[in-house]
Amino acid sequence: MMVRYSRQMTTQRFAAAVLSLFVATAVYAEPAKNVQMLNIQSAMQQQNNDPISLLRKLRQEKPEDSAIAARLATLYIQKARQELEPEYYQQAFFAIRPWWRVEKMPPEIAMVRATLYQHEHHYVEATELLLEVIQQQPKNSQAWLTLSTIQHVQGDYANVAVSCDALSRVASTWLGGLCYSQLYSVTGRAKAAYAMQRHLLSQLKDNQQELHVWLNALMAESSVRLHQDKRAEQHYKAVLALRSDDLHALGNYSDFLLQRNRPQEVIALLKAYDKHDALLLRTAMAAKQAGDQELENQSVAVLKQRFAEALAKHGHTHERDEALFHLVFSDDKSQALTLMAKNWELQKEPVDARSLLQAALANKQPQAAHTVIAWVKQHQLEDPQIHRLIKRLQML
């Protein structure tokens, strides 16, 4: 089975952290429905039943209850992320389908629908729904959190600041501070971001594992931007010690190791993750770097097959992954540039900037990177590799 690399592994970690903050209650619902969801949660804790089975039963008994439907859909989404089974996203859709085309859907349904749009990379539609929820419920913390994440993915940092300010007011100064630290890390203030993140980490309790994971991942990224490699590696290892299957951390740490010519460590790290396209791609890159021709050929063959299957089934592949594949393993470097330019239209994170710069350099087309270079300068992004790539492009 093929498991595609989501554009939003950061978002998935974010979602888990949000759930740890809101303790599985429908914080976005009306007060009466909040009470109802607390009763549902209590029932799940008192019984040995699988939570999904219990909620499916309640859903059958009360098919008109949007709070139950939203909670069931949320559990399916959690399961999809934990088990890398996209079929659970379909189950989440079926759970809320009766409200899918309702003009004024309940906020709890709108939140789930926005999450499903987000998963499909339909950021415009997701944003519209979230803004509608916020208009109805200005103090809806989860809506502001999800909105800020989408804004990060799109590189819309001006509006990220608005969302961070809202979180500080309607949620907590801790959550607002975390939001601001992410913003500072990609807008020329990585040193301040790391200091904030270290302070926020010190305020967590030991049992808040998802938030420990989230913060250590952010601190690793901030450390890389500050040229603090040893410290960055400590944070990557801290994430994986807490959650060994964190796909985003595995991918980022693998890139970190590959950039420092440590391919054998990547091969060992990703041995159990050959079903995940982006991580299999890193294994192939590590095999090439290590001179392991057998592993490289095997990994490349599987990736070619998966890209073909994705194209046949969905009409497209994951542009970033396929572009990187072409850059490393194909003679067709122009295809990599085409794919990354298309990807840049949809999302603008540092990794997307770096990938497009690499593609422009491989094709010796510095003009193709002008918008990225302007974006990096505008936001004063601190990223050693990105700045090295820009210098090389400017020398062409």
Question: By the 8 A CB rule, do 197 and 222 touch?
Answer: yes
In terms of pLDDT, which residue wins out, 184 or 30? 184
- In percent, the amount of the chain with pLDDT more than 90 equals 76
- pLDDT for res 101: 87
* Entry pTM: 0.86
Q: What is the pLDDT of residue 296?
A: 98
223-269 pLDDT per residue, tens: 999 999 999 999 999 999 999 999 889 999 999 999 999 999 999 99
What is the rounded average pLDDT for all residues in the chain? Answer: 89
pLDDT in tens, 56-111: 999 999 999 999 999 999 999 988 887 777 889 999 999 999 998 888 899 999 99
Residue 396 contacts by C-beta under 8 Å, 6 or more apart in sequence? 361, 364, 366
Tens digit of pLDDT for each residue in 153-166? 999 999 999 999 99
Instruction: Report the pLDDT averaged over residues 375-381.
Output: 97
Is pLDDT of 388 > 60?
A: yes
Which pLDDT score, from 0 to 100, does residue 323 have?
92
Determine what percent of the chain is predicted with pLDDT higher than 70.
87
Domain 8-158 has CATH 3.40.50.150: no
Highest mean pLDDT: which of 2-6, 15-19, 316-320? 316-320
The domain ranges of the chain are 8-158, 172-244, 318-396
pLDDT band for position 50 (50/70/90)? confident
Whether 30 shows a pLDDT value over 70: the answer reads: no
Under CATH, to which class is 172-244 assigned? mainly alpha
Gap between the Cα atoms of 157 and 3, Å rounded: 30
pLDDT tens digits, one per residue of 278-336: 999 999 999 999 999 999 999 999 999 999 988 887 776 778 899 999 999 998 899 99
Residues 223, 232 contacting (CB under 8 angstroms): yes
The pLDDT value given to residue 24:
36
